[in-house]
């Protein structure tokens, strides 16, 4: 967090100055109060009017400083919170597919919402008050040491004692804040799961059971919050009590000490200055623990140290000129053997169709070839370079994917096709047309700029799939992985999309359970998975045999 704050040194200095502007008001307040008591003691009309003028000036200056301070602080807070969100999001994007799937997606949502909201409410409020009260303590104790050095020495000694007490609370405060963050994640996941399966719950009349579970989850979350809030409040109240005792002791000291200041106004000034040292100090030190706990949350959601991501161990860029070779590939998933021994070659520019019974591992093979899984035995090599040594980013820049489950952003059709990249408009429009979206786009009020609702809720399954296909076509990738690209399309459109995919100059690796006569035969090869092994056929021979067997039956 320190590095983040100092990334804009000039603006952070302005933020500190903005926080310290309140100290001027506190100092002026102490002197104005002393003048009021002096006016009572002196009892002259001239001094009274001076006091009134000073009080009016204090009100004007304080109001001006408050507005100026707020304007200077808000801009810095806004930009810093944006940086935190970007860093948290970047951490997620840097994860490998395997690392990302170690946790529920809703945990990441919780990190990007609940944890950042916690940092906003806890960290910046605490930082403001820490700087303000720390600065106030320093300024007031300097002034107090000039007015009465003995009282200043007592206050400084007390500050060291309270600092030691605050350190005793530090670990517990950080631990409770982490527990609260974890419980927030669990609650977010539980709620998301309930909403996702709401239809099933209602159809089976078990929503009440989940309501009870939800109440238990809420109770657990509130319990964690209560513990954290109680513990921080306990620190604050303990310090307030110490501050009150110190102030009472100082009053007794000034009443009976021969070194006490002379004059009511001076006594009030010393009391005000001492109070402006003691109470900010007592409220400031517990904030250290809150700031440290917020820093721990910040590191949790932004630190790349615990991320399973690409490292320097992947030194090679992606280059594909000849072939992808798969040799002796073995793979287990959840302790279940999927592939015993796969041996085949994918040639540059050729079209391959993966076939096999349900559960044979068709989608798994695509994930292995596309670097989504890397915990396999054997070798996958591109032009002789081990796939495990190729940079993930370099690989992803050259491949496209079409999956059954399409995710769409709450943005325009164009942005969903281009994925917010600055592609020429003609290129995006051509991809949309090739994917069979032309007629659909032409009847939309805003054309290709028509808004898409959250995850495409305002689109049919076929329209969502066509956007996914257009997205892959627009990228002009070297390799296209297609997992049931035409599964949610009618036969006419499916045939058209399949024809379009096969006409691309890219290397195609596809999964499809559909057969389009005269089109499916245009694949170069069929890779048939069965019992953990692979057999390779030319597409013409494979479909001739399959169709012949069906005719015979």
331 contact partners, CB below 8 Å, separation of at least 6? 338, 339, 361, 364, 368, 373, 375, 376, 377
Which pLDDT score, from 0 to 100, does residue 552 have?
43
194 contact partners, CB below 8 Å, separation of at least 6? 201, 210, 214
Contact 501, 508 (CB under 8 A): yes
What is the C-alpha separation between 152 and 146, in angstroms, rounded?
9
**Secondary structure of residue 347 in the 3-state scheme:** strand
Beta-bridge mates of residue 97: none
Which pLDDT score, from 0 to 100, does residue 198 have?
62
- In this structure, which long-range contacts are made by residues 84-90, counting pairs with CB atoms below 8 Å and at least 24 apart in sequence? 84/4, 84/116, 84/119, 84/298, 84/301, 84/302, 85/112, 85/116, 87/4, 87/302, 88/112, 88/115, 88/116, 88/301, 88/302
Structure tokens at 346: 């994918």
Contact 529, 467 (CB under 8 A): no
Q: Which residues of the chain have pLDDT under 50?
A: 312, 551-553
Does domain 323-552 fall under CATH 3.40.50.300? My reply is: yes
What is the C-alpha separation between 339 and 331, in angstroms, rounded?
5
CATH node for 2-302: 1.20.1560.10
Q: Which residue from 478, 466, 324 is spatially nearest to 400, judged by alpha carbons?
A: 478
Which pLDDT score, from 0 to 100, does residue 553 have?
41
Beta-bridge mates of residue 528: 355, 535
Which pLDDT score, from 0 to 100, does residue 331 have?
93
387 contact partners, CB below 8 Å, separation of at least 6? 371, 374, 380, 381
Helices (H) and strands (E) in the chain, counts: 19, 10
CA dihedral 508→510→515→521, nearest 10 degrees, is 30
Across 360-478, the runs of DSSP E, i.e. the strands, are 377-382, 385-386, 399-402
What is the domain partition of the chain in residue ranges? 2-302, 323-552
Q: How many CB atoms lie within 10 A of CB 277?
A: 29
What is the C-alpha separation between 364 and 370, in angstroms, rounded?
10
Q: Which residue from 411, 403, 344 is spatially nearest to 379, judged by alpha carbons?
A: 344
Structure tokens at 429: 């429009």
How many Cα neighbours within 13 Å face the side chain of 233?
A: 6
Contact 497, 327 (CB under 8 A): no
**Secondary structure of residue 114 in the 3-state scheme:** helix
Contact 286, 235 (CB under 8 A): yes
Q: How many CB atoms lie within 10 A of CB 491?
A: 10
Q: How many CB atoms lie within 10 A of CB 404?
A: 15
What is the C-alpha separation between 412 and 223, in angstroms, rounded?
43
Sheet (strand 385-386) strand order:
336-347, 323-333, 377-382, 385-386
> pLDDT tens digits, residue range 336-391?
899 999 999 999 999 999 998 888 899 899 989 988 888 899 999 999 999 989 88
Which pLDDT score, from 0 to 100, does residue 121 have?
75
Contact 432, 448 (CB under 8 A): yes
Contact 270, 119 (CB under 8 A): no
Q: How many residues does the chain have?
A: 553
Q: Do domains 2-302 and 323-552 have the same CATH topology?
A: no
Which pLDDT score, from 0 to 100, does residue 261 have?
54
Sheet (strand 507-511) strand order:
399-402, 479-483, 507-511, 351-355, 525-530, 533-538
* Cα-based angle 475, 481, 483 (whole degrees, multiple of 5): 125
What is the C-alpha separation between 238 and 174, in angstroms, rounded?
18
For residue 446, with 0-12 CB atoms within 10 Å meaning exposed, 13-18 middle and 19 or more buried, which class applies?
Answer: exposed
């Amino acid at each position: 967090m320190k590095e983040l704050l100092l990334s804009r040194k000039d603006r952070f200095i302005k933020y500190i100055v903005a926080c310290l502007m309140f100290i001027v008001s506190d100092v002026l307040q102490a002197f104005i109060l002393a003048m009021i008591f002096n006016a009572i003691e002196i009892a002259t009309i001239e001094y009274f009017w001076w006091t009134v003028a000073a009080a009016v000036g204090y009100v004007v200056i304080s109001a001006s400083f408050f507005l100026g301070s707020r304007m200077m602080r808000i801009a810095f807070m806004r930009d810093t919170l944006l940086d935190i969100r970007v860093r948290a999001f970047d951490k997620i994007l840097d994860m490998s597919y395997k690392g990302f799937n170690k946790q529920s997606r809703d945990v990441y949502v919780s990190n990007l919402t609940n944890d950042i909201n916690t940092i906003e409410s806890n960290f910046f409020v605490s930082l403001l008050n820490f700087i303000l009260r720390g600065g106030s303590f320093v300024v007031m104790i300097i002034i107090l040491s000039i007015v009465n050095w003995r009282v200043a020495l007592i206050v400084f000694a007390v500050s060291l004692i309270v600092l030691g007490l605050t350190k005793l609370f530090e670990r517990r405060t950080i631990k409770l804040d982490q527990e609260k963050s974890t419980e927030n994640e669990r609650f977010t996941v539980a709620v998301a799961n309930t909403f996702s399966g709401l239809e099933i719950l209602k159809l089976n009349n078990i929503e009440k059971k989940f309501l009870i579970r939800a109440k238990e989850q809420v109770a657990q979350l509130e319990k964690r919050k209560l513990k954290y809030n109680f513990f921080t409040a306990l620190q604050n109240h303990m310090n307030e009590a110490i501050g009150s005792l110190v102030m009472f002791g100082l009053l007794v000291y000034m009443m009976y000490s021969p070194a006490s200041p002379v004059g009511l106004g001076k006594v009030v000034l010393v009391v005000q200055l001492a109070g402006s040292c003691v109470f900010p100090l007592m409220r400031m030190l517990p904030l250290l623990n809150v700031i440290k706990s917020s820093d721990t949350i910040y590191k949790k959601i932004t630190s790349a140290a615990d991320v399973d991501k690409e490292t320097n161990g992947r030194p090679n860029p992606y280059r594909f000129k000849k072939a992808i070779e798969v040799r002796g590939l073995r793979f287990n998933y959840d302790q279940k053997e999927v592939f015993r021994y796969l041996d085949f070659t994918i040639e540059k520019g050729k079209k391959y169709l993966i076939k096999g019974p349900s559960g044979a591992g068709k989608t798994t093979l695509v994930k292995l070839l596309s670097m989504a899984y890397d915990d396999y035995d054997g070798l996958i090599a591109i032009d002789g370079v081990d796939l495990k040594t190729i940079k993930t980013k370099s690989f992803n820049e050259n491949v496209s994917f079409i999956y059954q489950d399409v995710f769409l952003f709450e943005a325009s059709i164009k942005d969903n096709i281009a994925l917010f990249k600055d592609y020429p408009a003609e290129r995006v429009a051509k991809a949309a047309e090739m994917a069979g979206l032309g007629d659909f786009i032409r009847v939309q009020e805003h054309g290709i700029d028509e808004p898409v609702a959250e995850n495409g809720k305002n689109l049919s399954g076929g329209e969502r799939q066509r956007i996914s296909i257009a997205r892959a076509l627009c990228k002009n990738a070297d390799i296209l992985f297609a997992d049931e690209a035409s599964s949610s399309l009618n036969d006419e459109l499916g045939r058209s999309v399949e024809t379009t995919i096969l006409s691309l100059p890219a290397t195609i690796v596809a999964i499809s359970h559909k057969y389009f006569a005269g089109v499916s035969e245009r694949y170069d090869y069929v890779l048939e998975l069965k019992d953990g092994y692979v057999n390779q056929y030319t597409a013409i021979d494979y479909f001739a045999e399959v169709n012949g067997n069906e005719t015979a039956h």
